[in-house]
Amino acid sequence: MGNYRFIISGGGTGGHIYPAISIADELKRRYPNAEFLFVGAKDRMEMEKVPQAGYKIEGLWITGIQRKLTLKNMMFPFKLISSLIKASKIVTKFKPHAVVGTGGFASGPLLKVASGRGIPCVLQEQNSFAGITNKLLKDKVAKICVAYDGMERFFPSDKIVKTGNPVRSDLISINEDKNEALRFFGLETGRKTLLVLGGSLGSKRINALIAENLEFFKSLGLQVLWQCGKGYIETYKPLNSDTVKVHAFFNDMAKTYAAADFIISRSGAGAVSELCLVGKPTIFIPSPVVAEDHQTKNAQALVAEDAAIMIKESNLDEDFKTRFQSVFESRELQENLAKNIKALALPNATKDICDEIEKLLN
């Protein structure tokens, strides 16, 4: 039977949305006649990104709980009740054969309703430290697909399957020619290249760090390929030169990674999974303002395997130059970092997650 109906719920950030779309794409490849419905949070980026990927989406009136007493927090019980009622109507009308949650607050009400009706549910947890919604749902779902070891501290061990995180299909086997990639960006083929990634929106602190250190990079003979984010492009565009290329974002990530010798990046779950596939010496600068400090914990999981360097934002002023130079000057350290991060790659994540969903259909 190929006429399955799937609901996929998750959102709030790209880290929850892009895995959800990857899973839908793979299920669609397997079951071309299947129907899909996404459920997200009203007013969040999924309401735009999911239709762009060709899928229908319904929005729930739900937000997270703030850490301090705010009007939003006082509204939370009303939003939760409203979302549970709407989720119930969605499940009744759509009659899914399986439901997948990729994290974010919207997946909570939906998976609670679906699991309560005996519909098989799968969770996908991207981070090394489980999100609050997924922790609340752990006893209700059939399977939990994770990307890191040691997730038994959050979830029942008999439900855990280590699959990794879905990544963009064009990165599964990066076979771009390095010199061609450098020429594509207008960079010299004989020079070492530093790639800077501040997350999809850009990072104010990382941008300031790179701007402050352009002379330092130049003294090392490095050229810089820099994604600053669309909110910062007007500020940093004037720094473009023969050896510094500033972009709001990169459309072709395979070429972007191929051009790099060293990488500085945030440590969101999606970025970490991609960089494991890329296998190049990486310095993570975690964002300190994400829920439950996920990014620091993701980076620490790689540091524990000698697979990356981590520098906290609060330590950048005193530590950045010395730590960067220690990587830049040691061929042995570069090779170890590259080898160890590559060993953590799980390129078949999307396929393995869909295999778990498929088992529940049968």
Residue 165 counted as an annotated binding residue: no
Residue 127 counted as an annotated binding residue: yes
Q: Please, what's the largest Cα pairwise distance for the chain? A: 64
Separation between Cα atoms, residue 102 and residue 349, nearest integer Å: 13
Residue 15 counted as an annotated binding residue: yes
Residue 13 counted as an annotated binding residue: yes
Residue 102 counted as an annotated binding residue: no
Residue 66 counted as an annotated binding residue: no
Binding residues for UDP-N-acetyl-alpha-D-glucosamine: 13-15, 127, 168, 200, 295
Binding residues: 13-15, 127, 168, 200, 295
